Structure 1
Amino acid sequence: MKIGIFGGTFDPVHNGHVNAFVESYIGLNLDKIIIIPTFISPLKTDARTNNTHRLKMLKTAVEDYDFVTIDTYELDQHHVTYTFDTLTYLKEKYPEDDLYFIIGTDHFLAFDQWSRSDELHELATFVVLDRDDKLYEVTAPFIKLSTNIVEVSSSLIRQRLKSNTEVRHLMHENVYGYIKEQRLYET
């Protein structure tokens, strides 16, 4: 089986994330997508919404996609978990399957900062979603996937919610409803 893996804070999950999941599923001819929300991202220092809320929003955003599952491995660790540890866990869980770890250009360009980056390619094939940015070149052992990218950022959504600016068009309507119901990102 070919399994695509996405990690991230998803704070909040938005249409750009869901588009990336679906386009990767199609473009790589995957059998399954596994989303792994982080407890704390090693390369991000900004505040995050609590895990219960992020997980609920993520489940809501992908509930209609039967090829998408969520694995709470990193959330369950209750500390910073590095991609090497997560991929080791997934390799043990899916020993016969091909793992494709899908990243954006921002993570690709910072890949040398990842813990044990030189060993990661032994655990999975790394796929870079092409945002049509001509400032970089993706070379082996990375794979470049040219696809339709919806440019949205969680930080923009948080900023707009804080200033009470419209964001409904950027996310699943039930995720937006949950954010408003729980009064997330207001301060």
Structure 2
Amino acid sequence: MTGAKLAMRIGILGGTFDPIHFGHIRPVLEIKSQLNLDSVWLMPNHIPPHKKSTVVSTEQRLAMVDLVCQQYSEFELCDIEARRSGPSYLLTTLKELHKLYPTHEFFFLIGTDSLVSLPTWHQWQSLFNLCHFVVSTRNGWQLTSDMPIFKEYEQRLTRMDQHKSQKSGLIFQVNITPQAYSSTHIRQQLALGLSPTEAVPSQVLKFIAEKNLYQTPA
């Protein structure tokens, strides 16, 4: 990842990436441009707290994300959570990243669905001391005034042109082009012997074929 000496604006997208696909890639490219980020770190989880398991191994998911980072100069692989033996709590991760990169400004990328569930995350209010949140719209999800996160959202919501020197604690709302791809559907296609070339980068599909991944139904 980028060296610690230069102060940079870093987006972080966490996920299982099981597998990584254009539904991850294209929105993040749009967000990087909208927020003028220096780089976006793709951060595969090891044991996601909110999911039971992944279909393929952590090493295989890391390899697929690394292939995407090799193709797109806008991305870098962040393996800090994948190398952790226990559950991947964002608070622990951000504290570690701040020690490694004390001058960086971190923007954590989530969808409206994750924003709504944020109060269930481990020590969620402390997260605002360590990063900004960038929220993209999700079909079927809407923030309403009766939700626990609503007041926090209202207080912290900031336009990008109003963002000055504050290094954490803000929320930015972005609009992205909807993508029709999901990892679950892609795994189902692969299990049927199909090759979803419109949804998955070619080098990732090649890796999946070489390793015989996702051969059984999700």
TM-score by length of 2: 0.80
Could you list the runs of 5+ residues in structure 1 that have no partner in the other structure? Answer: none
The residue number in structure 2 matching 1:95 is 102
Q: Which ranges of structure 2 fall in alignment gaps of 5 or more residues?
A: 1-7, 145-152, 157-170
1:134–1:53 CA distance, 2 compared to 1 (3 A): closer
Which segment is superposed worse, 51-60 or 5-14?
51-60
1:154 pairs with 2:161:
no
Alpha-carbon distance between aligned partners in 2 of 1:22 and 1:117, rounded to the nearest angstrom: 26
Q: Which residue of 2 aligns with 1:124?
A: 131
Structure 1 position 144 matched with structure 2 position 198: no
Question: Is 2:55–2:214's contact at 8 Å kept on the other side of the alignment?
Answer: no
Tell which structure's C-alpha radius of gyration is larger. 2
Shift of 1:139: 3.4
Query: Aligned residue for 1:16?
Result: 23
SS of the residue 1:24 aligns to: helix
1:60-112 Cα deviation digits (max 9, x unpaired)? 12312223111111111122120000111111122122110001222112111
Aligned to 2:150: none
How many angstroms apart in 2 are the aligned matches of 1:161 and 1:61? 19
Aligned 8 A contact 2:29 2:74 in 1: no
Aligned residues: 187
The percentage of counterpart residues that share the same residue type is 30
Higher relative contact order (CA 8 A, sep 6+): 1
- Does the 8 Å CA contact 1:4/1:100 hold for their aligned counterparts? yes
- Indicate yes or no: 2:201 matched with 1:186: no
Distance 1:168 1:67 in 2: 22
Report the aligned-residue RMSD.
Answer: 1.7
- 2:44 is aligned, of 37, 60, 74, to 37
For 2:80, the equivalent position in structure 1 comes to 73
Task: State the partner residue of 1:4.
Answer: 11
Shift of 1:132: 5.8
1:168 to 2:197 alignment: yes
Q: Contact between 1:27 and 1:147, CA under 8 Å: does it hold in 2?
A: no
Range 161-170 or range 22-31, more displaced: 161-170
Q: Deviations over 1:130-153 (max 9, x none)?
A: 236562265342221112232311
* Maintained 8 Å contact 1:18/1:62: no
